[in-house]
Amino acid sequence: MRIVEECNDLQVDLISVKSAKYIGDFAIRFFFNDGFNRLVDFKPFLEASLHPSIKKYLDEPKFIQFDIVDGNLNWNDYDLIFPIDNLYEGKL
């Protein structure tokens, strides 16, 4: 008996953040690798949080120190990070 493994060459396109620009008042415009862009307002999320490690990002100089790491938005070595699909949909 011969066993044959079938392989589907279906390539899944993963969405990633290509770049991001701080607009002001805790809003960031995201540019994704598929050409889509979205403005996301983080202020309501930050203000509603009860956790001090999240609340500290209401300090604007700290908030604007984000990086794009491997297609993800990242603050302070993964201290704060959001799922890419949430950013893409604009839902925090």
User: Which domains are present in the chain?
Assistant: 17-89 (3.30.2020.10)
Question: What pLDDT score was predicted for residue 82?
Answer: 93
> What is the model's pTM?
0.83
Question: What pLDDT score was predicted for residue 44?
Answer: 97
Reported confidence tier of residue 13, pLDDT bands at 50, 70, 90: low
Bridge partners, 40 (sequence order) = 28
Strands 27-32 and 66-69: unpaired
> For residue 9, is pLDDT > 70?
no
The tally of CA atoms less than 13 A away on the side-chain side of residue 35 is 0
Percent of the residues in the chain that have a pLDDT greater than 70, as a whole number = 86
